[in-house]
Amino acid sequence: AQTVTQSQPEMSVQEAETVTLSCTYDTSESDYYLFWYKQPPSRQMILVIRQEAYKQQNATENRFSVNFQKAAKSFSLKISDSQLGDAAMYFCAYRSVEEGGSQGNLIFGKGTKLSVKP
């Protein structure tokens, strides 16, 4: 079974600085998707960024980028020029694409609570 591990329960960053959130996962599958979701205090989870395992190029969305290391099964999220609005819980998630896999269901880590200091 696939697992997702986020080893940082809490992180803090100064406004305008850069922070990296860690995520590792375990799977025997060769193709899958990885996601970072953000859950602000209002509690609605929003997709921040996604990565397709067969793509070597790291995904980027504005100030958010990932460092995807497939061999190491690592998928970290870098937030550049941090803003107060980035304060939230961040969840790393895995999704299988293979037949017999989790069939589209997301497997989450425990989350990392990010605080942004003004």
Partner 1 sequence: EAGVTQFPSHSVIEKGQTVTLRCDPISGHDNLYWYRRVMGKEIKFLLHFVKESKQDESGMPNNRFLAERTGGTYSTLKVQPAELEDSGVYFCASSPRRWDTEAFFGQGTRLTVV
- Going by C-alpha positions, the residue among 76, 36, 75 that lies closest to residue 53 is 75
Calculate the CA 49 to chain-centre distance: 7
Interface of this chain with partner 1, residues 16 to 55, rule: CB under 8 A: 33, 35, 37, 42-47, 50, 52
* Comparison of 51 and 82: residue with beta carbon closer to partner 1: 51
* Comparison of 85 and 100: residue with beta carbon closer to partner 1: 100
95 binds partner 1 (CB under 8 A): yes
**Residue environment code for 58-74, b if the CB has 16+ CB neighbours within 10 A, otherwise e:** ebeeeebbbebeeeebe
57 binds partner 1 (CB under 8 A): no
Q: Letter for the amino acid at 7? A: S
Show the tokens assigned to 28: 């025997």
Q: Which of 25, 90, 91, 94 binds partner 1 (CB under 8 A)?
A: 91
State the sign of the Cα–Cα–Cα–Cα dihedral 6, 79, 49, 70.
Answer: negative
108 binds partner 1 (CB under 8 A): yes
Q: How many residues are given for the chain?
A: 118
- Residue 44 Cβ, how far from partner 1 at the closest point, in Å? 4
What is the contact surface with partner 1 in residues (CB under 8 A)?
4, 33, 35, 37, 42-47, 50, 52, 91, 95, 97, 102-111
